[in-house]
Structure 1
Amino acid sequence: MHRGPSSPVPVLTAEERQLLSALVRRRQTPRGLATRAKIILLSADQPTATLSQIAAQVGLSDDTVGTWRRRFAAERVAGLSDAPKSGAPRTIQEADVERVVRLTLDTLPADATHWSTRSMAQTSGMTQSAVHRIWRAFGLRPHLISSFKLSTDPLLIEKVRDIVGLYLAPPDRALVLCVDEKPQIQALERGSATFPMLPGQEERTGHEYVRHGTTTLIAALDARVGNLIGRCYPRHRAVEFKDFLVIVHAQVPAELEVHVILDNYITHKTKVVQDWVLAHPRFHFHFTPTGGSWLNLVESWFALLSRRRLKRGNFKSKDELEQAIQAFIAQTNETPAPFVWTRSADDILDNIKRFCKRYLPAPSAPQNSQASSESLH
């Protein structure tokens, strides 16, 4: 298709590219706005592409792509917003919106750790509903916080590639098992009355309970099939872990190699355990990176156990708790479902790299060229 002056190829500044890329990546961006931002980015990155080629990549018509390119050429990023709707004129101007966003991102209230719609409304002079709409439009949620742990393991790259490789391309004639402990599972007897769920009302229970001891579950998950080997122990020392390995050894066919994925808990590296592994050469340990237990898929099964059986369970003894756990394991094995790993090692490492570039300070440059040269060798 001929591309004339009515549909100019956009040339982006660094700031425009950064803003458009953020709109495309952010989950809270309205779909229409994200698609328009993608049109401009694709057009700038593929200056020789026709409107038809760009349209095919975003699933729109040639005319629609041309319209948004013209709007961008005339008004830049602001032109990608929806046109004003009919009705009463706007009472909140762009400057007001920008002020609320900047206050939210760059400041904190004097008497709290984060903004609320009420405190922001008082500071900005707007209504709570207006603040709420602005926050929702820009994906701002000051009341939420998420945690992270960046691994400092010097062998991070090698371990990620090793474990992900076992998930995505397991060796022939081998079994890959994800092994870990879930310690200190409490047998709690709910002493308070429970009121059942009713239409419009969730189940209600009191906060009183009686403790009847704790147990530790050691489990080995065959993620490719979804089967599980599990055993409860009163403690989780090297002796118990070795005993569990003996159980696994007895249940896995002798002709199969056993690749065990596990974390860096000290019990897994004791001399007792290492001597046992040396005496059973078909067992191979693969340790997750320090602070990288999320690579172990048995953690996902532990989450299912907690959510479906333990969190609201009522147990009058430790034996009753352990029976419930074994019953849940049996149920898992009756109808196993694979735990599918989908992310490649490159994807994970690229994500870590982007995080470091965005949030961590860049390393200081060497003081002179000689130091730089020596560091490369």
Structure 2
Amino acid sequence: MGRKSSTITLSFEDRAYLETQTKARTIQAQTVARARILLLKADGYSIEAIADKVDMNRKSVMLCINKFNEGGIENALFDAPGRGRNAEITDDEKAWIISIACQKPVDLGYSAEVWTRALLTKHINKFAEEAGNTRLSTISQSKVRTILEEADIKPNKIKYYCENRDPDFDQKMHNVLLVYKQLSLQFDENGELLPFGDDDQIIHVLSYDEKPGIQAIATTSDDLLPDDNHSTISRDYEYKRLGTISLLTGIDLQTGEAIPLVKESHNSNDYIEFLKLLDNKYPKEDKIRLVLDNLKVHSSVETRKYLATVPGRFEFVFTPKHGSWLNLVEGFFSKMTRQMLKGIRVKTKDELVERIYKYFEEANEEPVVYHWKYKLDEIDPNEEVQVETLPLEKSS
């Protein structure tokens, strides 16, 4: 009885690479033959059948397969140093591959912003001979991946960072941290707010920001609640956009109270309305200090005109440009997104507004006082906070 021939296993990428080798016109005939051997063996052909198809003796076929099993495709296709073609890719060739990977494909005439392994390999194959790296005209995707991994280059990924565009970044950050440091001294070791003295100038400190573009989205059919057959809520993929709203929020950093104002927009008039809300909330003899960003409406002509009507009432500490992470209200917005806004569906925009106000009511039932810790040990609390009472006009 005949015995079934053993096979070798090729990945999709390896098979594609070998098929490319069999069609190439610029490589040695023996390389083409060896590529055919591996493809035929992967398809289950016997040693005798392969030898007959590639017109080689049985020993040469077995040697090629053994070299594959020992060291992979490159080892099987190309002879080791001293025996004809060198299978090793030189450092100069690797450097050329890396130099291509470190460029954007769009800068080389492609539509893509970042490389895929297939596109990068295709480009290398196409231009290798022109660049004097003929050996690389048939390099495989797997080999390109190995070279990039060894160099710790990931041209298919984007890692975001924040460019420092504020020449006064360090000074402004220090000023914000000074506010937080002085706040930390207003709490006892149990985290309880210490009472103000009779002669103290009371300053209410708030972290303020806007969250614009919150979408009101409606479903086109009712959600299906979990039951015996479905472990999750089931929802139709289709939805309807009902418009957007903006949320203006201040977090009282001494009490943890979250103060909302929901509007259709977030222009100067909306911001002034929020300031008036604060003015009516706190005793008139107290100061209100806001930590906020450099959005233009915060120092617009309209805003400065309003502040001139309440001289000395408000103080402003501006975060550096691209320093919104210094603003503690961002943590509240993140928590709100996770707890309430994620996946929310409403029937009307008014319902979204009502549910946002409801969320604030729930949050204020057990308010959380936000504390800052990063780099506070480096801050001298006896310094004087630099504040603005009637901010000059700024660019956003």
TM-score normalised by length of structure 1:
0.55
SS at match of 1:115: coil
Which residue pairs with 1:263 in the alignment? 293
* 8 Å contact from structure 1 (residues 186, 215) kept in 2: yes
Structure 2 vs 1, CA of residues 272 and 248 (structure 1 numbering), >3 Å: closer, same or farther? same
Cα-to-partner distance string for 1:292-347 (whole Å, 9 max, x where unaligned): 43332323322333343224111111221012111222233234444443443999
SS at match of 1:169: helix
Alignment of 1:23-172 (within 5 A): 95=90, 98-99=94-95, 100-106=97-103, 108=105, 111=110, 112-122=112-122, 123=124, 127-129=140-142, 131-132=144-145, 135=148, 138-148=151-161, 150-153=163-166, 155-170=168-183
Q: 1:322 aligns with which of 353, 360, 367?
A: 353
Structure 2 vs 1, CA of residues 200 and 212 (structure 1 numbering), >3 Å: closer, same or farther? closer
Give the superposed CA RMSD. 4.2
How far apart are the structure 1 equivalents of 2:366 and 2:284? Answer: 25
Which residue pairs with 2:334 in the alignment? 303
How far apart are the structure 1 equivalents of 2:89 and 2:179? Answer: 52
SS at match of 2:102: helix
Q: Structure 2: which amino acid aligns with 1:188? A: I
* 8 Å contact from structure 1 (residues 221, 229) kept in 2: yes
How far apart are the structure 1 equivalents of 2:90 and 2:355? Answer: 59
Which residue pairs with 2:208 in the alignment? 179
How far apart are the structure 2 equivalents of 1:213 and 1:107? Answer: 37
Q: Structure 2: which amino acid aligns with 1:314? A: R
Structure 2 vs 1, CA of residues 212 and 106 (structure 1 numbering), >3 Å: closer, same or farther? closer
Q: 1:188 aligns with which of 191, 194, 217?
A: 217
Structure 2 vs 1, CA of residues 236 and 115 (structure 1 numbering), >3 Å: closer, same or farther? closer
Which residue pairs with 1:246 in the alignment? 276
SS at match of 2:337: helix
How far apart are the structure 1 equivalents of 2:311 and 2:216? Answer: 36
The Cα of 1:194 is off from its aligned counterpart by 5.8
Structure 2 vs 1, CA of residues 134 and 314 (structure 1 numbering), >3 Å: closer, same or farther? farther
Structure 2 vs 1, CA of residues 233 and 103 (structure 1 numbering), >3 Å: closer, same or farther? closer
* 8 Å contact from structure 2 (residues 114, 157) kept in 1: no
Q: Structure 1: which amino acid aligns with 2:349? A: K
Structure 2 vs 1, CA of residues 327 and 107 (structure 1 numbering), >3 Å: closer, same or farther? closer
* 8 Å contact from structure 1 (residues 225, 338) kept in 2: yes
How far apart are the structure 2 equivalents of 1:236 and 1:174? Answer: 26
Structure 2 vs 1, CA of residues 255 and 135 (structure 1 numbering), >3 Å: closer, same or farther? farther
TM-score normalised by length of structure 2:
0.52
* 8 Å contact from structure 2 (residues 104, 113) kept in 1: no
SS at match of 1:333: helix
- Unmatched runs of 5 consecutive residues or more in structure 1: 1-86, 348-377
Identity of aligned residues (%): 27
- Unmatched runs of 5 consecutive residues or more in structure 2: 1-68, 76-87, 125-135, 187-201, 379-396
Alignment of 1:209-228 (within 5 A): 209-223=239-253, 226-228=256-258
Number of matched pairs = 261
* 8 Å contact from structure 1 (residues 219, 228) kept in 2: yes
